[in-house]
Structure 1
């Protein structure tokens, strides 16, 4: 019988621009915070899962990233596993830590994600992120995207991957298709950004704490039409960590505010037809089944709004509304603070930031804060059940990796 798993502690840096800091410095801060929060000593941690996506491409550090990043934390000597799974790296590390506890192999595990994307040469970060596709099929992908853009009357420039993330071109292609299917407008996408910046203004860990207006979002420079700058998540630096343990270990350790992991699901994308379920829909369906809940039971969610339109698409993938009704759900106010099913109270990737190897655990940190009732001005009142959705990479017409977690107070 699988062990019940709880989150015993959480910690993270503020996301932002840290030109003077490296991955190790960021990871050390998050690990120090999570150990303090859990009331756990380094010697009590039995295994660690370290997530990072692009250090190899940004700095050349490969193969033993976790051992290097955790070298000064007092954790060396235990099994340390290095996890790389594009933007879903941290959620994947958390899933592996959950498996380690659920299997009964370990009682206390650490999951930590750290990323450093800011560089004097910004195009270096864009090129690194752009590697999260099937490079053997990249020319075919670019051709299909260019043809779709030409047909829409919005031909792309040739600087994708140099002055922007290639993924914004992918999101733009998906967005144009979604607009036809749902009737979504640029104003809807701007309103997603406005909502998430409103939430981010209340989050001391957010990269951007400024509010914005619909007009400002629409007037920001074009990135890949119809996406403007403020509809796209920023690059950033940061780290986030969680300590997981069995319920028995939580009692032994005297954990004060355990949060139950009700479901931990990781799936891969696959080549599929347009009318077949995508990775997020498949992962969510499985997570709901395991957790014994439905989308209507989710009080608060952190989802992967790497581009503003993606939030509306994910509403539908997660079953928060019917197909094509994402814009209507947004307009209803249901997903903003004060609504019935609040989405991205942290500010989401758009405002909180997106240091890709840390993002998935940062989402979990926010949900744990919400379920503990310690989220301050952005607290979702009475939150009892929370969900995270974190995707990474692109394969065919889907995320290459997709994680959905469900948590209970």
Structure 2
């Protein structure tokens, strides 16, 4: 049958990554799929959202009315549009081209539920392997805290069975796998800022405290989605006159695929934040209100996680000295450091390391620079980067089996393997 294997999965909001490892920490296979966060990827982890496990804002009625649907029904969601048009909450009811899809519906995954992303990543990783060799799996799921634990566990079990895998599977949050990806130490701090944002303290290999991580609607301050949302708000304020003019108007328009504003931007910066321009071009003479409505049409037709694509644009323009982008980058770093200081409560548990994870903190930019400098100043140490959450999950799986003879060497092998 061959030597036993373990599986580790990092199911994030935009990407699901899976690794298969032997008991010595050598990665033998990988798999990837789309996002699997029930709160930001656009659909619930458990497919039927009429169940008691449906996340806040999901359909709770037999007619499947979306968040923001017509409230002529007595059971329509709180805060939804009370007009009988069925147009999404916040969308322009006079704009003839509006796409009538609720904000949060996934337009980028072909309609696949996040639970299907778990199955796809598992199947890709074990293709060509004997599934009978799999002894254990650990799956870290973004959005699997107390509020979403039951739905996450149900989706993980369904995906495990759908992939025809034997053995036991353990569901944890993305915090455990991120911390384990950065260090084999049992104590320390984690600051994660990707699609979402959360800080956490670990003691004795257990999550002891956490701060924020409340999702795109209620928290995640300093995350990629937060940066994107604040950038969009700054653009809308600039367009309707409430706020100062900013280069974010042109850059956000380009990344969202609606327009670029000035010919100089098109000529001098054909790519902003690593995202090429696309979509129809609007001239500088276009009506600002029409541009705002065009932006809203696209934003309200995509999942919340899609706003995270604007985070690199904020970093890029902050580096170029745009005052609005600079203020947003500094505010994001301030939020992240405040959350970390709050969860630390005076120090690092057990004298352990500070681990940073997520695209905002692992990609070059002002937010990362300010946060790393703040960690050095506050805790007297440079942070450790956690770049492979799936390897961290596999490390936890090996720990469940008490498998590694040399824990540090095994951890180094797992986390040093290029993704």
Q: Which TM-score applies when normalising by structure 1?
A: 0.32
Q: Which TM-score applies when normalising by structure 2?
A: 0.32
Larger radius of gyration: 2
Q: Which has the higher contact order (CA 8 A, sep 6+)?
A: 1
